[in-house]
Structure 1
Amino acid sequence: MLSTPNCPVDHRIERYVVIGNPIAHSMSPAIHTDFAAQLEMPLQYARVLAPLGGFKQTVRALKAAGVQGANVTVPFKLDAFGLADVLSPAAQFAQAANTLIFQADGSIHADNTDGGGLCRDLSRQLKTLGLQLEQCQVLMIGAGGAASGCVAAFHAAGVHHLTVLNRTVGKARELAERAEAIDLPAAGGSLDTPPSHFEIPGAPVVIVNASSSSLNGDVPLIHPAWFERAVLVYDMMYAAQPTPFMQALESTGLPCSDGLGMLVFQAQLAFEVWTGQSPNALETLTKVRQLVLAKAAVQ
């Protein structure tokens, strides 16, 4: 079972943190501790609660204390982006960062590993279906920050086409236009827009729910014709039980997944950025799933 250690100061050990508010729920320390244990690396990782409005001061204190890098979660991803001296293409597109690297020269490099983590998880699940992500197109539900954080990764993965559906049509079209600006063919529309409305390729469809609907127990209603072309349905949210979105699609018979794999794979990418080492994310994912179930059992 995964454990989350306390992290006393030890300058011989690489030190990383996750910054957020709230932060007590974060499983990142358990994930990264397991990564380090696999590779027998002397690494410590802790949660840091930053006060609202105090992100910059928190980062300054962490750098002074010898911390080498940080993951960043809500509500500070925009702050992390604004604080960086050097931005990865993914962070530049998303206008948000979830991974910071504190360089020896004092500069801060920022990345956004959310989209890359999603693509790694989609790729592993499509592989079981005999497919590759570059053979597919993506239908993304939602046009907010979570969706924006994935577009550059879709382009890098070779996705054929991106369709964005959102309650506010203007936001969907705006994100689609931004995708096309980086040479990812894209279109945007309302939630109930059928696939026949768009000039899209005949490639298999991967449906990704990037909206916050599952947090509220809601289910975004999209045109049923999308499910006739879909090969995989993915909800970025996760819980011990299937999300409301997944439950609503059980009758379709489509493979459905929650976003726990995305969490672990985006952490794997951050770990690689920091250390140059690549842990076995699937091994950690199995343990994290057990941890989620165990926590749910005692609540």
Structure 2
Amino acid sequence: MQRSFSSYNNNHSQHLNYNAADPGIVSYLNIGKDHMEGGVEERAFSMFLVGKGVGSHVIDGKPKDVHEKQLHFVFSGQDSNWALNEDKGLEIDTLHLSETVFETFGSYLKYPFSHYMKVGAITLTEESFEKFKYEFMNIAEELEDRQGGLLTAEFRLKVIMLMLSREIYKMHYEKRMDSACLLSRFITLVFENFREHRDVKFYADELAVTTNYLNILCNKHLDKTATAIINRELLAEIKQYLIASNLSIKELATLMHFRSVSSFHTFFKKNTGLTPKDFQNKYMGTDISTTISEDLS
């Protein structure tokens, strides 16, 4: 597993590397212009916070103008091609999460990944930019403090993902307030009730709409069914407990309000392709405090 935080600044250079054999496998570096230009298929989820820079960034063939106070984001498997004007000055902080780590924190992106992929880049207000900058820079310091800072860095990764979701909400959904408000209320209800309530009818009743209408809205604006959104949160929670807790499978099934261990087993395998025990064994060597891992896919 590889995870790196990179600060791109043409006036500054430093390198901090941990041994690749270390469980944390964390590396930091300042990269030069040759690392940003050209085409590459991303092997990580990457965020680029542009403090200063002019040029273009083509993601999967779609060009995005590059200018200051922007956040660009590229998913694993997407083609990313940068062309930057170095004469204009460059200051780009980047945060990269490997595919494994992204499985952990990806669920904090509260809308379907397809929405983020379509957008690719957003222009931030001064206030939002400074908030992202603060989190980016502090995460580097805290991950360097391998003894005491990793848990705080884990929290910051969650915050960054939620901040990105908030920016997407402001950009995409505030213009469609009726549908957006209902979907926002639905997602909030899911966060609060997914352990006890997995039936779409419960949420539709709470929102005073039909299940069919709720599904239509979810499919139209989130590219997922209402059930898929509920199940995603439930699976994220289950995976976290499987890795991080000492609960037995039976205890976890009870905690998540499944009627039996058998139904819990069937639900998990249907949605992940693995039994709960197989999933637990696969990630048993993962130490959350040192790898920043909760496997929230």
User: Higher helix share goes to which structure?
Assistant: 2
Please give the TM-score of this superposition, normalised by the length of structure 2: 0.29
Please give the TM-score of this superposition, normalised by the length of structure 1: 0.28
